[in-house]
Amino acid sequence: SPAGMALSVLVILLLSVLYEAVKMGKAVLLRRALLALPHSISQESLLEPKEGDTGPTQGSRWFQYHVGQTLFHVVQVVLGYMVMLAVMSYNAWIFLGAIAGSTLGYFV
């Protein structure tokens, strides 16, 4: 039905926007993770806290950012495959919805 098709296109559009948002979030986390890396990259500096430190160490902050990046990557892959499968239905409206969503998500 036309209403079902419009809803499908809207859902694909939103999934594409979300894909682009997750991609940007992953890039932001990568930048924060790189800034959280200690100047000397060794196992000791990543694993052992310095004496007198009460807050999270640089190594543990880096690890938290890395776990966040991993989760963002999994979500990005799942969303990408869902949009790809929808596009592989060979429906022109679905394809245009995916393109419009990707464009809008990148613009925002």
> pTM of the predicted model, to two decimals?
0.74
Q: 15-19, 28-32, 36-40, 98-102: lowest mean pLDDT where? A: 36-40
Please check whether residue 59 is in contact with residue 47, taking contact to mean a CB–CB distance below 8 angstroms: yes
Number of neighbouring beta carbons within 10 Å of residue 22: 21
Determine the Cα–Cα distance for residues 42 and 13; give it in Å rounded to an integer: 44
For the stretch 35-83, pLDDT in tens is 877 666 555 555 555 555 555 566 677 788 888 889 999 999 999 999 9
Determine the Cα–Cα distance for residues 56 and 98; give it in Å rounded to an integer: 41
- Hey, where are the domains in the chain? 11-38+70-107
- Which pLDDT belongs to residue 42? 58
Determine the Cα–Cα distance for residues 18 and 12; give it in Å rounded to an integer: 10
Q: What is the DSSP letter of 51?
A: T
